[in-house]
Amino acid sequence: MRRARWTALAALLLAGCANVAPYQRGYLAREAMALDPNPGMARALEKTYSAKEAASGGASVGGGGCGCN
């Protein structure tokens, strides 16, 4: 019953989103809309912050650790 409820909720959420055709995605394709426009820079900044904070991770797995004293 609970699973059916979650499935219905997910379907409702997806249905509520506009069905954007490929030709309508010009703005979405812009670099400013990218979630990770420069992987090297994102990696460097992620490490810089994580070395000083207790929290880390989020969008990825399989990265490994470092000695950040």
Residue 32 interacting with other proteins (CB under 8 A): yes
Residue 60 interacting with other proteins (CB under 8 A): yes
Cβ closer to other proteins: 2 or 26? Answer: 26
Residue 36 interacting with other proteins (CB under 8 A): yes
DSSP code for 58 = S
Q: Which residues contact 64 (CB under 8 A, 6 or more apart)?
A: none
Residue 12 interacting with other proteins (CB under 8 A): no
Buried b (16+ CB within 10 A) or exposed e, 8-20: eeeeeeeeeeeee
Question: What are the residues binding other proteins (CB under 8 A)?
Answer: 14, 17-22, 24-69
